[in-house]
Amino acid sequence: MTVATENSYLKGAKGRNTRGLLRLVILCTIAAAAVSSRLFSVIRFESIIHEFDPWFNFRATKYLVANGFYDFWDWFDDRTWHPLGRVTGGTLYPGLMVTSGAIYHALRALTLPVDIRNICVLLAPGFSGLTAFATYLFTNEMSSTPSAGLLAAIFMGIAPGYISRSVAGSYDNEAIAIFLLVFTFYLWIKAIKLGSAFWGALCALFYGYMVSAWGGYVFITNLIPLHVFVLVCMGRFSSRVYVSYCTWYALGTLASMQIPFVGFLPIRSSEHMSALGVFGLLQLIGFVEFVRSGVPSKQFQTLLRGFVVLVFSVALGGLVLLTVSGVIAPWTGRFYSLWDTGYAKIHIPIIASVSEHQPTAWPAFFFDLNLLIWLFPAGVYLCFLKLSDEQVFVVVYSILASYFSGVMVRLMLTLTPIVCVTAAMVLSTILETYLSIKSPKSDAESVAIEAEASKKKNVATKGGLRSMRNPVVGIYTMVSKSTVVGAMTLYLLVFVLHCTWVTSNAYSSPSVVLASKLPDGSQHIIDDYREAYQWLRQNTKEDAKIMSWWDYGYQIGGMADRPTLVDNNTWNNTHIATVGKAMSSSEEVSYPIMRQHEVDYVLVVFGGLLGYSGDDINKFLWMVRIAEGIWPEEVKERDFFTARGEYKVDHEATDTMKNSLMYKMSYYNYNGLFPPGQAQDRVRGAQLPTVGPVLNSIEEAYTSENWIIRIYKVKDLDNVGREHGAAASFERGNKKKKATKKRGPKVLRVE
């Protein structure tokens, strides 16, 4: 820990101890603040897993804890993607589950048997404390002022941009990934500063851990080579760069290939080619430098330089050729859509349909990073002023991360660490300037010195104002000092208030239970999700297949513990499109589809009664679009709009809309809740048609208290072999009074 301060009060060996203790206390307090500001949802509601994705992670962790590591590693999950199943061991990042499994067993060994659910819920707050510490270390490498690290740590601890992904209960990959990201960067900076193979190897190890935890490791894989490349382009190649980068790349790539999900990707895919290219480039440069040191000759140097350029362009050309010819896989859609922002919307609707893949609006930056966002550019500027190797890293990181966070809301998460670091650097510089007790020169001394100086100067320069003769450089008055420091303190206090407010109001609500306020201010909790999932769990067969839209796949698997057709891991687009087609077609079309996939129950989410806007009718158009991508002849988006191009559910709705399975399931029996003719959809604000839809091939099995979740049972085939429509209409007594004697146009019976 390098402590280089000229604080007059805390000097000497004793002062160093005091400072160390102070630091320890501050860091512990920061960690405590980081943890406790994430507990709003646990205190207000209960200790459960939020959101959708964490339910799968939770389920996988339970499997790991119950069956051991090796079973988890080759886990074939036959309760998802029903006819297909999922090779879970090879299609997930195991870092999160293994970490919490390890914590679970460690606590067991310490005779503290904690339930695995509580470990999963509280993992993210725990790691946020570590993230704050890692940011402290990282910033200390960047800045010479001792306070910058502490400021960065507290910023990172409570910035809402990071809290949004790491509140208690959000058991997602990002929970540990941000810690690993920052810590990997710290180790990298350390490695490049010292030129040490040891730190490079440590960096590679943590990089490997990061790869096992989050798909966002690609960010590191591209950032570190970019940093090195920029250094090389600036003419700052040194043997330190060579040692640290080559150690990192050689070990880190091997480490990343140990994860089954990643496999050969570091060799084969385009996202990893920059790292490989820079690795090759560094070998060349290293060799050339070696030769050049042996033979110092002007012509030889130019020759070598030409050689480097030639080889580099040949390598680049070879890379392009390999990519075009298909040996190296091109960019995957998810990453490609970061460059071509219109790509996903046109070609892969399933990527565009996720709400967090949208571009970020301006208010989001201020909302998530309050005062940090306007200190951020100043910090980058400060790095430009003192441009050493690690400052280049900050500059590269900030440019890259701000671009990505502008393209996608979700990537705000990778921007937050660097914003905290740079803002802390600026703020500590300001505070250091204005908070130093001593003035640049004490008055009496300066008068004496200036008198001497002015004597000499007066000889030389006689003219000009008297005040201009001895320009006073420095901040003297207590007023200016205290004003600036006071203003900064005020900003910091407001920042804390803002963070707490945002965390409490925006980011601490579990999406599993919906909370609403009654008029008297008391809280009313709508718990339809768990009610319905519990019903499924208790009242259906163990292997009853549930069909729902993919959003709810993980929750059904986690809470209801029933096999599903599709889930949030959208690896098979066609299968999702099949479900979309079943939902958006008429019953005659969708019944065979459901029979083919052995569906027993269909689950829809309907928010019309309560005004819950995230329901399936609002997501319906995405189902149609995804289905249309596969079967353009059978499902057409145009058919779901009225003649004027409106998306309606009331009596103006098109026939295709009214006959679609989704519409029927959502509004089935809904009219009965209201007086005749006054059925109202509170989300769409529409008056529903007086005659509700009729269901023939499925029957209502369960509807939750507030009608949010509706579950339908798929009927068996008719006993006598009739169509379901005919059978149901016979049951309803729709037979015509006068039997027609006319013979229908029958076809020949083929035996």
Partner 1 sequence: MAGKRNARDVTPSPPINKSGTSTPTTPAAAVNSVTSKSKDANLSANEVAVAMWDNYVKATPQRTKLIDVFMAFLVVVGVLQFVYCVIVGNYPFNAFLSGFSATVGQFVLTASLRIQTNAENKAEFKSISPERAFADFVFGSLILHFFCVNFIN
Residues contributing to the site for partner 1 (CB under 8 A): 194-198, 200-201, 204-205, 238-240, 242-243, 246-247, 249-251, 253-255, 257-258, 264, 267, 286, 291, 293-300
In angstroms, give the least distance from the CB of 303 to partner 1.
8
In angstroms, give the least distance from the CB of 263 to partner 1.
9
Instruction: Tell me the C-alpha distance between 10 and 5, whole Å.
Output: 9
| Between 200 and 608, CB nearer to partner 1 | 200
Instruction: Tell me the C-alpha distance between 265 and 328, whole Å.
Output: 9
| Between 184 and 337, CB nearer to partner 1 | 184
Residue 387 and residue 375 in contact, taking contact as beta carbons nearer than 8 Å: no
In angstroms, give the least distance from the CB of 205 to partner 1.
7
Residue 328 zone, left/alpha/beta (φ > 0; ψ -120 to 50; rest): beta
Residue 139 and residue 148 in contact, taking contact as beta carbons nearer than 8 Å: yes
| Between 9 and 264, CB nearer to partner 1 | 264
| Between 246 and 373, CB nearer to partner 1 | 246
Dihedral, CA of residue 570, residue 574, residue 576 and residue 577, to nearest 10:
140
In angstroms, give the least distance from the CB of 387 to partner 1.
19
| Between 255 and 665, CB nearer to partner 1 | 255
Residue 554 and residue 51 in contact, taking contact as beta carbons nearer than 8 Å: no
> Shortest CA distance to 708 belongs to which of 477, 554, 532?
532
Take residue 582 and report the two structure tokens written for it.
Answer: 């079943």
Instruction: Tell me the C-alpha distance between 425 and 364, whole Å.
Output: 23
Residue 395 and residue 227 in contact, taking contact as beta carbons nearer than 8 Å: no
| Between 81 and 199, CB nearer to partner 1 | 199
| Between 234 and 497, CB nearer to partner 1 | 234
Instruction: Tell me the C-alpha distance between 146 and 151, whole Å.
Output: 10
In angstroms, give the least distance from the CB of 202 to partner 1.
9
Q: Is 567 exposed, middle or buried (0-12, 13-18, 19+ CB in 10 A)?
A: buried
In angstroms, give the least distance from the CB of 2 to partner 1.
12
Dihedral, CA of residue 155, residue 160, residue 165 and residue 168, to nearest 10:
90
| Between 90 and 614, CB nearer to partner 1 | 90
In angstroms, give the least distance from the CB of 299 to partner 1.
4
Instruction: Tell me the C-alpha distance between 304 and 315, whole Å.
Output: 16
In angstroms, give the least distance from the CB of 253 to partner 1.
7
Say whether 515 sits in a helix, a strand or coil: strand
The 3-class SS string of 60-117 reads HHHHHHHHCHHHHHCCEECCCCCCCCEEHHHCCCCHHHHHHHHHHHHHHHCCCCCCHH
Take residue 149 and report the two structure tokens written for it.
Answer: 């690290």
Half-sphere exposure of 311 (CA within 13 A, CB side): 16
686 forms beta bridges with 681
Kind plus residue range of the DSSP H or E element containing 711: strand 709-714
For the residues of 598-647, what is the DSSP string, one character each? T--EEEEE--TTTT-SSSHHHHHHHHHHHHHHH-TTT--GGGGS-TTS--
| Between 81 and 248, CB nearer to partner 1 | 248
| Between 193 and 469, CB nearer to partner 1 | 193
In angstroms, give the least distance from the CB of 370 to partner 1.
39
| Between 90 and 377, CB nearer to partner 1 | 90
Instruction: Tell me the C-alpha distance between 170 and 700, whole Å.
Output: 33
| Between 196 and 358, CB nearer to partner 1 | 196
In angstroms, give the least distance from the CB of 276 to partner 1.
11
Residue 655 and residue 697 in contact, taking contact as beta carbons nearer than 8 Å: no
| Between 213 and 583, CB nearer to partner 1 | 213
| Between 254 and 673, CB nearer to partner 1 | 254
In angstroms, give the least distance from the CB of 295 to partner 1.
5
Q: Is 224 exposed, middle or buried (0-12, 13-18, 19+ CB in 10 A)?
A: buried
In angstroms, give the least distance from the CB of 534 to partner 1.
43
In angstroms, give the least distance from the CB of 87 to partner 1.
17
Instruction: Tell me the C-alpha distance between 571 and 311, whole Å.
Output: 39
In angstroms, give the least distance from the CB of 390 to partner 1.
16
Instruction: Tell me the C-alpha distance between 662 and 697, whole Å.
Output: 13
In angstroms, give the least distance from the CB of 239 to partner 1.
4
> Shortest CA distance to 55 belongs to which of 673, 544, 421, 553?
553
Residue 505 and residue 559 in contact, taking contact as beta carbons nearer than 8 Å: no
In angstroms, give the least distance from the CB of 285 to partner 1.
12
> Shortest CA distance to 203 belongs to which of 262, 259, 244?
244
Any idea what the Cα angle at residue 116 is, between residues 159 and 539, rounded to 5°?
A: 110
The residue whose two tokens read 């499994």 is 101
In angstroms, give the least distance from the CB of 16 to partner 1.
21
Amino acid sitting at position 394: V
Q: Where are the beta strands (DSSP E) in 452-579?
A: 514-517, 523-526, 546-547
